[in-house]
Each structure stands twice: as structure tokens, then as C-alpha cells.
Amino acid sequence: MINRRQWLQASSAFAAALALGPRSSFAQATRTVKVGVGLKSLNSSVINLLIGEALGYNAEEGFKVQGLALGGNANVQVATDKGDVDVGIGVPSYALPILARNEWGNSQWFYQYTYPYKWDIAVKPGSTAKAYTDLKGKNIGVSDFGGTEYPVTRNVLKSLGVDPDKDVKWTAVGAGVPAGVALQRGAIDALAYYDTGFGIIDGAGIPLELLARPSNLPMIGGQFLMGLRQRIQAERDLFIGFGRSTAKASRFILENPSAGAKAFLKLYPETAPRGSSEEQAVKSVLEAISRRIKLYEPPYAGAKMGSIRVDEFVTEAKMNDWDIKDFSKIYTNDLIDKINDFDVEKIRAQARSFTG
């Protein structure tokens, strides 16, 4: 389970994060929902979890949101299990091994806010590596070993016959622009990263080429909203409300990404590049989220936004030889119908007419 060192790290990160929050909120909100994310600082990768504050969706549900960057997935899991955050982001690469050891606590995933597949491997322009199988003997960079790109990329390489322990070297190079610089300077041969991370590197003008994705990529690695099971049962309307706000925000961004970027910057102006104009700041957000927003909607015919498919967990467990016979403890789809009970066309019209 969570060891003492992880708990102390999580407690420290949570205490530091309490001072953070959006610059504006709605006075009519009756309570604050603390949302923990596994980032070192809040950024636009979680835009659809946050802009409901600026668009009035949270106020309609009777709450305001405080986003808390807790530094890593383990910290978020601890904070959620302890009840220190109301909603946390859950990731299968961290959670499923706990479930396999029969040590899963009382948290439950209730909404999938990003669907697979969002990772890639980039190389410098002109690299001799053109495919994932060309990476044998290469040094692959990741942001850090607690990032989702590390376990997911290991799984994909393994599925292609590349031993992730013997055939490649792994190096933690930091997040965002520093990761791109490490690739540019040749400190690493390739960079495994996720969509919004590559967007930040693109925005910094660092050239890179994405290797062609293998065919039949496994549908693994979605990201989920979670809360304590007993709280979801006792405060059902609150969790439906947060999921609905997220779904509305996702629809809003899909309809008008620039408007979504403006709403995010209204809440978190400090995330804009220093000295940038509004136009430049909006562009920086759009560069970061352009790949991610395509993953808000489920890639399954007829599936409702936010709905969870157990097949993704089964696939990831098999790839890692995790013996899990029952996944029901970890997720529920019971809130999805209510979460999606809103006028989608009204949200799209709001997005089209939004001026900031």
C-alpha cells in the first residue's frame, strides 16, 4: 500500500497546495470542492476540470473548485484515500498494481475524463530511428519515473518485442521545455511523453519528429476522476455535479478551443508565458491542448462522455501479468447518465458566442 515516505510527501504537497487556487470564483457557490492532480503545478492539461469555474457550470451545481497540484499520482491517491481532496485523478498504471495486491482502498473512479491513447515517442529531425523497434540500444527520456509515459511506453515496447529493461536505457529529464531541450542537445536519443507535454515543446519552437505509432496500439492509460466510495454514495449529487461540469467544459472546448483557452487564462493568468500578449497566451494554451481535446470523447460507438470500459483495465493487467479477477472495486458507471443530462447544443452555442 502507500508507505510512510509517500504519505509524508503527499501531506507536504497537499499543505503547500492549499494556498493555490483560481483567481476568480462565484459568490453563490455554497462549498469548495478540492481537486487533486498529479502535477507539480497546475497547467492546461487539466483545463476541462477547471474552467467550469469561469463558465458558471460549478456555480450551477452549488460549488466552486480549488485545483491542487500535488506533485505525483501517488500523492493524489493518498490524498483521495485520506479524504484530504474531494476529487482526485486516478491512473491505471499506478492503481492496478495496488488492486492486484488486494490492497485497494475505498476510492472509486466515476468518470473517464481522458481516453486512450495520448502518448508518443519523439526523436530529433533526421534521426535514423523511424519506428519504435528502432529504439533498441537507445536512451529514452521521460519526464520522471512517476509519470504515466514511463509505464505505458514500457508496455508498448514490450508488446513489440523490445525488452524495456535490457534493450533500452531510461533517463528522467524533467517536464515541459527541459525535456525538449534534452532531446535537442542529444542528452537522450528519444523522448517518450504525452500529448500536452509535446504541445508545450512545440510551443517553445523546439523541432521534433514523432515516430509512427505501431498498429493496434493497446487501449490503455485513460485518466479518471475518483472519490471515496462512501462519499460518492452519500453525496451523489455533488459528484454528479462535478462530472457534469467537466462534461460541459469538455463540450465547450471541443466546440471552441480558443474560448476554452481564454476561460482558463481568466482563472490562471500566471500560467501564461511571461510577457506574452493575450493572443500569445491563448496560442500557448491551444498548442498545449490541441492533441488532448480529441481524447475527451470516448472512442467507442454509442458510449456516453465519461463512461468507463473495463476492457481497458483487463488489457493493461494482462500486459503486466497482474492477476486481477475483479475490477468492480475500482470503478462505477452509475453516475454517467445523470452527468450527461444537460443540453449539449446550449453549451455549444455558449462556446461559439463566448468573448471572455
Residue pair 282/261 in contact by the 8 Å Cβ criterion: yes
Q: What is the pLDDT of residue 32?
A: 96
Residues 264-281, buried b or exposed e (16+ Cβ, 10 A)? bbbbbeebbeeeeeeeeb
pLDDT tens, residue by residue, 136-195: 999 999 998 877 789 889 989 998 999 999 999 999 999 889 999 999 999 999 999 988
Asked whether the predicted pLDDT for residue 347 surpasses 50, the reply is yes
Give the CB-side neighbour count of residue 10, counting CA atoms within 13 A.
24
Q: Which residues contact 255 (CB under 8 A, 6 or more apart)?
A: 347, 348, 351, 352
pLDDT tens, residue by residue, 87-143: 999 999 899 999 999 999 999 999 999 999 888 999 999 999 999 999 999 999 999
pLDDT tens, residue by residue, 190-215: 999 988 889 889 888 999 999 999 88
pLDDT band at 4 (very low <50, low <70, confident <90, very high): very low
pLDDT tens, residue by residue, 204-248: 899 999 999 988 888 888 999 999 999 999 999 999 999 999 999
- CA angle (95 as vertex; 194, 221 as ends), nearest 5: 30
Q: What is the pLDDT of residue 28?
A: 53
Q: What is the pLDDT of residue 311?
A: 95
Which grid cell is 34?
A: 478540492
Rounded to the nearest 10 degrees, the angle between the axes of helix 310-319 and helix 149-159 is: 70
279 alpha-carbon distance from chain centroid: 25
Asked whether the predicted pLDDT for residue 342 surpasses 60, the reply is yes
For the chain, give every domain's residue range: 4-116+221-353, 119-210
Residue with cell 485513460: 222
Mean pLDDT lowest for which of 183-197, 248-262, 338-352?
183-197
- Distances in Å between the Cα of 260 and the Cα atoms of 79, 271, 310, 348, 350 are 28, 14, 30, 12, 11
Q: What is the pLDDT of residue 296?
A: 96
CATH architecture for segment(s) 119-210: 3-Layer(aba) Sandwich (3.40)
Mode of pairing for the β-strands spanning 107-114 and 63-69: unpaired
pLDDT band at 29 (very low <50, low <70, confident <90, very high): low
Q: Which residues contact 27 (CB under 8 A, 6 or more apart)?
A: none
Q: In what order do the strands lie in the sheet with 169-172?
A: 169-172, 139-142, 190-194, 119-123, 209-210
Mean pLDDT lowest for which of 145-159, 243-257, 322-336?
145-159
For the domain made up of 4-116+221-353, give the CATH fold: D-Maltodextrin-Binding Protein; domain 2 (3.40.190)
Same fold: 4-116+221-353 with 119-210: yes
Asked whether the predicted pLDDT for residue 18 surpasses 60, the reply is no
- Write out the H or E segment, with its range, that includes residue 191: strand 190-194
Mode of pairing for the β-strands spanning 119-123 and 209-210: antiparallel
* pTM, to two decimals: 0.81
Residue pair 60/90 in contact by the 8 Å Cβ criterion: no
CA pair distance 190, 170, nearest whole angstrom:
10
